[in-house]
Amino acid sequence: MAISTNDLKNGMSLNLDDGLFTVIEFQHVKPGKGGAFVRTKLRNTRTGAVIERTFRADEKLDQAIIDKRDTQFLYRDGDDYVFMDTTTFDQTTVSPATLGEAALYLKVGDGANLQTYNEEIVGIELPASVELTVTETEPGVQGDRVSGARKPATVETGLVIQVPLFVEEGEVIKVDTRSGEYLTRA
């Protein structure tokens, strides 16, 4: 579906020559001399790379309609991840390359939105935070209580994050899926 650059909105998906992109931000600029243009920041849906692109005002772009399906992560089948659609109960196998960094936040039973374009899975949308169990970390040293001090901890999915010194093995913590940072104990 063709749209004008004047109709761009944050979060909108575009099918450009370089691939599938999501608009992060845009700015309509009308200089005193010359024609107006639209400056955009776009995120590649497949790779996550962010690019800046400038379009002429009223230039036509191809809008991509991305379907989002509520799914639940069931299990790993070799390297692949198997998800179940929560409405139709159909199972879908997804490669780790498609999931990217999101695979480090998935554990069995978690919900996620699979994003599809033309029946091809192009990405995954996770909740803002997930609860993960710490499987390995060094014990906090008595007397080492510097404000804001951190230590590395490995969680059940294999992700290594920086946590405060008081967090110990076996504790359940909340992790921000957008930044990969420790939020709080659960």
67-125 carries CATH number 2.40.50.140: yes
Question: pLDDT of 142-177, one tens digit each?
Answer: 666 666 778 888 988 888 888 888 888 888 999 888
Question: pLDDT of 96-137, one tens digit each?
Answer: 877 878 888 888 888 888 888 888 888 888 888 888 888 888
| Whether the model pTM is above 0.85 | no
The domain made up of 129-185 has a fold known as OB fold (Dihydrolipoamide Acetyltransferase, E2P) (2.40.50)
68: its two tokens: 């989002």
* Domain parsing of the chain, residue ranges: 2-62, 67-125, 129-185
Q: What is the pLDDT of residue 142?
A: 61
Question: pLDDT of 78-100, one tens digit each?
Answer: 888 899 988 888 888 888 877 87
Q: Do domains 2-62 and 129-185 have the same CATH topology?
A: no
The domain made up of 2-62 has a fold known as SH3 type barrels. (2.30.30)
